[in-house]
Structure 1
Amino acid sequence: MNAIFITPAGETLHVEVAEGDSLMHAATFAGVPGILGECGGSCSCATCHVFVEQPALDALEPMGTAEAEALEWTAEPRRHNSRLCCQLRMSAALEGITVRIADTQN
């Protein structure tokens, strides 16, 4: 399955993501710049902050409490479409998801 990451520099990167895998894991494995994932995907560091574009935004599972709390501490201010990509698991509904990586992660 395909996910599209737009880097802070404006580069568009297509990354293969296995069904059920997190976007953060796939991005770090592929060397996508700007996705740090310092906590390894445990939803505690907020260094995988992205902005999810439509139509995928409407297809996402609801945000959990831990993710919502972590997003309060992101380096770049939270927006209505902010998510931590460690919490986004690839599914058929998210095929072709496009996310913009936050300019700053720390």
Structure 2
Amino acid sequence: MSDLPKATADAVEAARQGEQFAMILAAIQTAQTVRSQQQPVPPPAPVAVQQTGTAGKWLAIAAGGSMLMITVAFAAVALAIASACIALVALVVYGIYRDIRRR
């Protein structure tokens, strides 16, 4: 009969361990439930890029483009004047050549 008290003590100990196991399992499940219900932590806000020079940059580009187009226009006018002058000089030289040739 010595086995019966020993078996009873083992059964009581197993029941206590079973209760502890159930408590541990319940705590883990509760922690998982709480963790899943928590709002996810938002990622840190991105660093804002300073855009203070954006308008100035575009104004500089516009001014540079305008100056370039004005320069191209003046070059075209100068080329036209030079072409007209060369044509007039060629006509004068041709006229002088014709006069000299007649003599």
**TM-score normalised per structure 2:** 0.13
Q: Per chain length, whose mean CA-contact separation is higher, i.e. which structure has more relative contact order (CA < 8 Å, sep 6+)?
A: 1
Q: Which structure is higher in helix share?
A: 2
